[in-house]
């Protein structure tokens, strides 16, 4: 490709850039409005302790972009967040206002400050929104431009939960993408390896071409040296020829003088004739030498012309090779660009399929939740009322015919049904809160022994009806960092299950221990009973989905499977799974673990 072709390509690229810039200016206002809408919804659908403490919703904008500043000012003057006024603070660098800010927006022109803002706000529960941040590992919410001109957002829930910020499920319906850091790292690594391979291939082609050009230039220099040597040799031959010609001319002059002498003096004719003959022989020899020199000069000229033609052919071959290499490079770049565009298109398609699959999974989960809720309402909530209604009818009809012990027995039956009903309602309430993400994980430091004793006292009433003893003879405090409400619900459900599925007169034990050298910061609580145990299939359904075939207790108590499911969910909130060791007819040992505090 020559200079003229490169000049034309540069002009076309400049025209494309000018056209694209005009389109960007035309879309700037619409883009800033969409960014403002995203920011408003992020603030509206999130919650934290910092937001609850403030009388107004404070937003700091770190940017000098006029359209973004104008849009946020418009939000400040026209909208509210959770019935609180919005206050906008605009800054071009990091200031102390971040400690009082519910949300900080870092504009695209200030992304170099993002990591510093991220580190300084870790302990304040501040929500961060970035625009076109290239590092997905540190983002909370990131709004980014797609190659096709759209504006989307991505979310890193790990960083959001680490700041103790709650987000509502409606955010997922806005179409954002959840960051998978591991997948991002693997994709970036694959692209880097592929780019290095292509770069090495291109480098080898260029090195090979440069080597050919260097060798050709050396050959040209050698030919030039040979031509210069031939020119010098021709100059020498020409000088020799001129000298021979001058000698011939001198001989001719001598011959003329001698002829004059012969004509003047015939006495010396014989000597003159001999001299003349010698001169003729010398002249003939000089003529032969001149002829030979002319032949040599002619052959040298032919050889020089041949070498010049050869040099021209080689120059033509070198020019063709250069054009071939340039064409190959251009074709390679065009193919690479096409492959990148195809890859991006395929990536977007995969993301859309992934989003559809996720939405389908959510719909299936909602349907399952709806079916289970209807089943519990239609069956499990109806049973306690039916039982109590039947007993109440007996008391109502035959109250005067019953003695005191029979009345007391019926009242105890009603009380037992009410206890089962209350337990079912509590579990159903916690389960529904769990399904709607209304339960926030709030760990704190407290004494485990206090909660164990409280829940043991709560369950002792039910246990006394079956003459079951709940034993806990450990006097260590066991300081733990956990969600106190969740641990109370786990202990209550596990103890009530142990009592329900244990025979009269049996023992339920509570054991606590701190793990050894393998994990010194882990406290494990175990509930051990001598009851009827669980079969493996029903146990897996109860732990994974909260679904268990209705199995009554040892004296006919009702069960739904929600208790074990709630306990497993709450255990996973603390970072550990519920561990169940059971054998049908022998008993069960159910354990959960909490983080210890020394």
3-state secondary structure 461-504: HHHHHCCCEEECCCCCCCEEEECHHHHHHHHHHHHHHHHHCCCC
In a domain, 431, yes or no: no
Residue finishing a domain among 310, 334, 361: 361
* Residues 443/570, Cβ–Cβ less than 8 Å: no
Q: How many CA atoms lie within 13 A of 17 on its CB side?
A: 6
Domain that holds residue 472: 440-598
Q: How many CB atoms lie under 10 A from the CB of residue 349? A: 10
- Domain check: are 31 and 91 in the same one? yes
In a domain, 377, yes or no: no
- Domain check: are 160 and 296 in the same one? no
Instruction: Compute CA distances 502 → 457, 512, 588, whole Å.
Output: 18, 21, 10
In a domain, 400, yes or no: no
- Domain check: are 54 and 75 in the same one? yes
User: pLDDT band at 136, cuts 50/70/90?
Assistant: confident
Residue-wise pLDDT for 67-118, tens only, equals: 999 999 998 898 999 889 999 989 877 776 667 789 999 998 989 989 988 9
Average confidence score pLDDT of the chain: 79
DSSP helix/strand/coil, 153: strand
pTM value is: 0.39
- Domain check: are 175 and 198 in the same one? no
More confident: 11 or 316? 316
Distance CA 559, CA 553 (A): 8
In a domain, 4, yes or no: no
- Domain check: are 174 and 230 in the same one? no
Task: Say which CATH number the domain at 347 has.
Answer: 1.10.287.1490
- Which candidate, 43, 351, 318, places its Cα nearest to that of 187? 351
Note the pLDDT of residue 369.
59
- Domain check: are 577 and 480 in the same one? yes
- Domain check: are 305 and 173 in the same one? no
Query: Which residues on adjacent β-strands are paired with residue 177?
Result: 154
- Domain check: are 340 and 489 in the same one? no
DSSP helix/strand/coil, 135: coil
Note the pLDDT of residue 318.
85
User: pLDDT band at 273, cuts 50/70/90?
Assistant: confident
- Domain check: are 173 and 197 in the same one? no
User: How many folded domains does the chain comprise?
Assistant: 3
Residue-wise pLDDT for 440-454, tens only, equals: 889 999 999 999 999
Contacts of 112 (CB under 8 A, 6+ apart): none
- Which candidate, 371, 573, 553, places its Cα nearest to that of 468? 553
List, as one string, the DSSP characters of 41-97.
HHHHTEE-HHHHH-SSEEEEEE---HHHHHHHHHHHHH-EETTEEEEEEEESS--GG
Residue finishing a domain among 179, 199, 216: 179
Distance CA 94, CA 120 (A): 10
Q: Can you point out the beta strands (E) in 335-392? A: none
Instruction: Compute CA distances 593 → 339, 524, 527, whole Å.
Output: 51, 4, 12
Task: Say which CATH number the domain at 175 has.
Answer: 3.40.50.2300
- Domain check: are 172 and 218 in the same one? no
Distance CA 260, CA 138 (A): 118
Residue finishing a domain among 179, 214, 244: 179
Helix (H) or strand (E) holding 352: helix 269-375
- Domain check: are 232 and 101 in the same one? no
Task: Say which CATH number the domain at 533 has.
Answer: 3.30.565.10
Please tell me which of 5-19, 267-281, 374-388, 542-556 the model is most confident about, judged by mean pLDDT. Answer: 267-281
In a domain, 258, yes or no: yes
Residue-wise pLDDT for 325-372, tens only, equals: 898 899 889 988 999 988 888 888 888 888 888 888 877 766 765 666
Residue 178: both structure tokens together = 């959840």
- Domain check: are 110 and 235 in the same one? no
Note the pLDDT of residue 278.
77
In a domain, 408, yes or no: no
In a domain, 399, yes or no: no
In a domain, 387, yes or no: no
């Amino acid at each position: 490709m020559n200079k003229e072709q490169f000049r034309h390509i540069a002009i076309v690229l400049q025209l494309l850039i000018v056209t694209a810039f005009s389109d960007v200016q035309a879309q700037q206002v619409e883009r800033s409005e969409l960014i403002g809408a995203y920011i408003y919804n992020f603030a509206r659908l999130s919650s934290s302790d910092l937001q609850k403490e403030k009388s107004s919703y404070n937003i700091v904008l770190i940017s000098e972009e006029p359209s973004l500043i104008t849009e946020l000012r418009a939000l400040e003057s026209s909208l509210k967040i959770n019935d609180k006024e919005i206050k906008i603070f605009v800054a071009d660098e990091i200031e102390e206002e971040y400690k009082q800010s519910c949300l900080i927006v870092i504009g695209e022109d200030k992304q170099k400050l993002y990591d510093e803002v991220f580190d300084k706000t870790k302990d304040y529960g501040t929500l961060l929104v970035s625009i076109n941040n290239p590092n997905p590992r540190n983002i909370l919410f990131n709004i980014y431009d797609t190659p096709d001109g759209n504006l989307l957002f991505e979310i890193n829930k790990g960083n959001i939960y680490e700041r103790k910020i709650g987000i509502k499920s409606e955010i997922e319906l806005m179409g954002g993408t959840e960051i998978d850091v591991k997948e991002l790292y693997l994709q970036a690594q694959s692209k880097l390896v592929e780019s290095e391979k292509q770069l090495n291939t291109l480098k080898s082609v260029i090195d090979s071409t440069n080597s050919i050009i260097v060798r050709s230039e050396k050959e040209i220099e050698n030919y030039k040296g040979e031509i210069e040597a031939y020119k010098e040799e021709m100059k020498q031959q020409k000088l020799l020829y001129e000298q021979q010609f001058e000698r011939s001319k001198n001989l001719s002059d001598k011959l003329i003088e001698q002829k004059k002498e012969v004509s003047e003096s015939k006495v010396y004719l014989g000597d003159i004739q001999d001299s003349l003959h010698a001169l003729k022989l010398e002249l003939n020899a000089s003529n032969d030498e001149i002829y030979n020199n002319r032949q040599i000069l002619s052959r040298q000229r032919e050889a020089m012309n041949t070498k010049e033609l050869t040099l021209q052919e080689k120059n033509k071959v070198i020019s063709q090779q250069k054009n071939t290499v340039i064409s190959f490079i251009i074709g390679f770049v065009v193919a690479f660009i096409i492959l990148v565009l195809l890859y991006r298109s395929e990536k977007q398609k995969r993301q859309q399929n992934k989003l559809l699959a996720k939405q389908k999974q959510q719909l299936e989960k909602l349907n399952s939740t709806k079916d289970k809720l209807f089943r519990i309402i239609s069956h499990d909530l109806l049973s306690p009322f039916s039982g109590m209604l039947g007993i109440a009818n007996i008391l109502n009809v035959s109250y005067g015919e019953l003695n005191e012990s029979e009345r007391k027995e019926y009242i105890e039956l009603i009380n037992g049904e009410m206890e089962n009903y209350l337990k079912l309602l509590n579990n159903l309430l916690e389960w529904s809160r769990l399904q709607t993400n209304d339960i926030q994980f709030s760990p704190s430091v407290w004494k485990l022994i206090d909660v164990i004793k409280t829940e043991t006292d709560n369950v002792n009433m039910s246990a006394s009806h079956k003459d079951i003893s709940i034993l806990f003879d450990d006097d260590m405090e066991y300081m733990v960092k956990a969600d106190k409400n969740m641990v109370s619900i786990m202990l209550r459900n596990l103890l009530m299950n142990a009592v329900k599925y244990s025979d009269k007169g049996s023992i339920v034990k509570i054991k606590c221990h701190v793990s050894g050298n393998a994990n010194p910061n882990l406290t494990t609580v175990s509930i051990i009973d001598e009851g009827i145990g669980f079969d493996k299939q029903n146990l897996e359904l109860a732990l994974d989905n909260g679904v268990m075939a209705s199995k009554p207790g040892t004296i006919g108590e009702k069960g739904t499977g929600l208790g074990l499911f709630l306990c497993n969910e709450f255990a996973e909130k603390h970072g550990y799974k519920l561990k169940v060791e059971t054998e049908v007819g022998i008993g069960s040992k159910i354990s959960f673990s909490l983080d210890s505090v020394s």
